[in-house]
């Protein structure tokens, strides 16, 4: 018995109740191999894998995979949305104010941390979103050499 065998991307789509299409498989692989990609970069990656796919098909696949929980959409305020394949752990992000680069921030404790606010106002909390804003190392280096 090979218990540790990983399902293929197509099997994961099927397991999430989705119809398997070449565009969806390519999109999930693109998002997982990328690092918080925007729609343009995802479209480029999908087309590199399966040839021409319409922008509409990319949006449709992103919507389906996000709704199924295979892809997570993050929307830093005032920035275009980014997509990632790291889902289910409620991790946070740090965003560079200057160039917009996004990096993952793990919480120190727990599987899905930060779900215990000081006052939940009677809500049943399912997700918490924390965005740290600052300057990435490249931008803060550039910034400090501009203003010595
Ligand atoms: Zn930066
Ligand atoms: Zn992330």
- Residue with the larger pLDDT of the pair 47 and 1: 47
DSSP letters spanning 25-91: HHHHHHHHHSSSB-HHHHHHHHHHHHS---HHHHHHHHHHHHHTTSSEEE--TTS--EEES--SS--
Average pLDDT on 58-78 reads 94
CA of 28 to the centre of ligand 1 (A): 26
Residue ranges with CB less than 5 Å from ion ligand 2: 84, 104
Give the pLDDT band (50/70/90) at residue 1. Answer: very low
Q: Which ligand is nearest to the CA of 141?
A: 1
Q: Which ligand is nearest to the CA of 135?
A: 1
Predicted confidence (pLDDT) per residue in 84-131, tens digit: 999 978 788 999 999 999 999 887 544 555 667 778 888 887 777 788
Give the pLDDT band (50/70/90) at residue 39. Answer: very high
Residue 19 pLDDT greater than 80, yes or no: yes
CA of 57 to the centre of ligand 2 (A): 24
**Contact indicator for 10, 20 with CB cutoff of 8 Å:** yes
Alpha carbons 43 and 26: distance in angstroms, whole number: 10
Q: Which ligand is nearest to the CA of 31?
A: 2
Q: Which ligand is nearest to the CA of 97?
A: 1
Q: What is the pLDDT of residue 108?
A: 53
Angle at 77 between CA 121 and CA 117, to 5 degrees: 20
């Amino acid at each position: 018995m090979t218990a540790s065998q990983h399902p293929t991307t197509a099997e994961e789509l099927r397991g999430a109740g989705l119809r398997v299409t070449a565009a969806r498989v390519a999109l999930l692989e693109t998002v997982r191999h990328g690092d918080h990609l925007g729609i343009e970069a995802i479209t480029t990656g999908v087309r590199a894998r399966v040839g021409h796919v319409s922008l509409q098909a990319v949006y449709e696949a992103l919507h389906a995979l996000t709704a199924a929980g295979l892809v997570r959409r993050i929307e830093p305020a005032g920035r275009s949305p980014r997509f990632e394949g790291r889902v289910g752990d409620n991790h946070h992000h740090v965003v560079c104010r200057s160039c917009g680069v996004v990096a993952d921030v793990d919480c120190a404790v727990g599987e899905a941390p930060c779900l215990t606010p000081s006052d939940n106002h009677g809500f049943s909390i399912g997700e918490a979103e924390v965005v740290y804003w600052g300057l990435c190392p490249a931008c803060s280096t550039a910034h400090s050499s501009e203003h010595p």
